[in-house]
A and B are shown apart, each in its own frame.
Chain A
Amino acid sequence: MSENPNIPAIEMRGVNVAAMRDASFIVVEDVNWSVAAGEFWVIAGQEHSGKSDLLMLAAGLMPPANGSYKLLGTDTKDFGEAELAEQQRVGFVFQGGNLFNQLTIAENVALPLCYQKNLAPDEAAPEAKALLALMDLAPLADVTPANVAANWRQRAALARALILKPEILLLDNPLAGFGARHSHWWLRFLDQLSRGHGRFGGKPMTIVVTADDLRPWQNARRKFALLRDKKFIPLGSWNEVETVNDPVVKELLAVPVELAS
């Protein structure tokens, strides 16, 4: 909507989140959550705790089952053609990438730009190439996703989400299944985006990621929340996370749990 920095990027009040595959099933209840512009949030939770559904709702891909959700100041209940501009201010990276299998990596990355700006493939190619180079994906530009390893597909999905220069970036479990090398690249790159990357206007990007392992995300600048038993529980900064005496948090931090004898 407006560029006013006082308007929260994400604002949920009493939101119930339904499952993407079954709208009658509520996975998270009564979410009260506000994300200011430029913040970096990590939403942790075990499998099937509703992380992906919450993130999809945050992207405006589905309406809240209850409550009100404002994305960049616009109520998503009324999201339609007129709010397309708001949708383009949000980038979404699915777990696994969800790339289009019929298109090459370069075509996947260029597609949002070609569609939204009505550009011919040749006109969008320089921008796509620059992003692919930034992600070390240039050698894979003409390969289809089925022939690319999962970690590179995920990077291609990140490039595709960033080509429209979004203000908010939502990433669903971006480090799932990655080794140390790729995890390190992702953490470093997301940190650059969070501080303001020159390629994307230098403005700090609002970032929300979901995770099933909290350890890689240790950083004083990040904010944390937990999804447990259908509840959204804000945890605060990393220092507060470390002091939380919650078995699920302990599990996500991989702290050894004492077994009953």
Chain B
Amino acid sequence: MRGNLAKAFELTNTQVFRRAALPKSCTDLLGRKLFLFLLTVQGLGAFALITLGVVLRKSGVAKNVIRPRIRQEIARAGVALLPMFFFVALALGFLVVGQTVSALAKVGAINYLGSTMVIVVVRELGPLLAAMLVLARVGTANVIELGTARAMGEVEALEALGIDPVHYLIMPRVIGMALGVFALTVYLIIGALGSGYLFAFLQDVPLTPGDYFKQIVESLGWLDFALLALKTIAFGFFIAIVTCYHGLAQPLRLEEVSRVAVRAVTQGVIVCVLIDALFIVLYLLT
């Protein structure tokens, strides 16, 4: 309730630092940046844990209100982006798969095609590209919507009506984005692998569709499916957390909304890259 948002934000009053005059020495500036970074990490961590707590505790509360909102968010972060993902899948297939297949065929290394595709498209490019596109299309909209709602006093209005803003505003976005990124990544990978073969076929690469897909299937293990699901859900969850946090953190003035949107997208990219790095370590360890 009242405490949920306050708890996360009272920990991290970064506005004090952001609005203060610039320090004169470089070391002071570096110190301030480091301090801001640590405060942001602390705030994001607290916000992520609070949101996770609300998702687990309140999954059955006000179902008639929350479930349509979750469906709406899945449509926004998933279904509505399908045409764009179809285009990106074609482009990815052409840029990466088509050229790789062709290059491998030229050096007689076509047998490595499956494992190369799995590493490049399934493990790395597919999930990361899907996350970046969702961040750009839906994450920015999240920050602007929530920032405007905050500036217009809608969050206080929710609290006055006894409605937990984290439950009503954040939870549907988190679930919608997590499922959206996961589903879109699957479509993107399938589309890219399919269109990649098409472009390779057009270049007269001596590879039958059966051989192409057989190599890919043989290179995929159960771990790839499990980590792909975990990674994309983590991407969606943290993109939603970062963008919602910045949209709702501190009472905003309307003129601050665009600046906060830029900051949220930058941090969203950093968080996604860090998650990706973590999963690379996991792949290497297993």
Contact = CB atoms under 8 A, between A and B. Distances in A.
B162 interface: yes
Contacts of B21: none
Q: Nearest 6 CB-CB pairs, A to B? A: A92-B160, A98-B153, A98-B157, A87-B162, A112-B161, A115-B62
A42 interface: no
Contact of B2 (A79, A111, A164): A79
Contacts of B156: 20, 56, 61, 94, 98
A116 interface: yes
Contacts of B62: 114-116, 118
A54 to B, nearest CB: 14
Interface of A: 20-21, 23, 56, 59-62, 79-81, 84, 87-88, 90, 92, 94, 96, 98-101, 111-112, 114-116, 118-121, 123, 160-161, 164
Contacts of B161: 92, 111-112, 115, 160-161, 164
A61 B159 contact: yes
Contact of B1 (A80, A98, A118, A161): A80
A16 B80 CA distance: 49
Contacts of B63: 118
Chain A contact surface mostly: loop
Nearest to A63: B2
A114 B251 contact: no
A101 B154 contact: yes
A62 B162 CA distance: 13
A120 B64 CA distance: 5
Contact of A88 (B10, B61, B153, B162): B162
B65 interface: yes
Contact of A114 (B10, B65, B153, B154): B65
Contact of A20 (B1, B3, B10, B251): B251
Given A111-B65, A111-B163, A112-B161, 8 more contacts: A20-B156, A80-B3, A84-B162, A92-B157, A100-B149, A101-B149, A111-B161, A114-B62
A147 to B, nearest CB: 15
Given A115-B62, A115-B65, A120-B64, A94 B162 contact: no
B168 interface: yes
Contacts of A164: 161-162
A21 B15 CA distance: 12
B155 to A, nearest CB: 9
Nearest to B157: A98
A41 B258 CA distance: 41
B2 A62 contact: yes
Interface string B59-71: 0011111000000
Contacts of A90: 160
B1 A79 contact: yes
A81 B149 CA distance: 23
B270 interface: no
A34 to B, nearest CB: 22
A161 B159 CA distance: 12
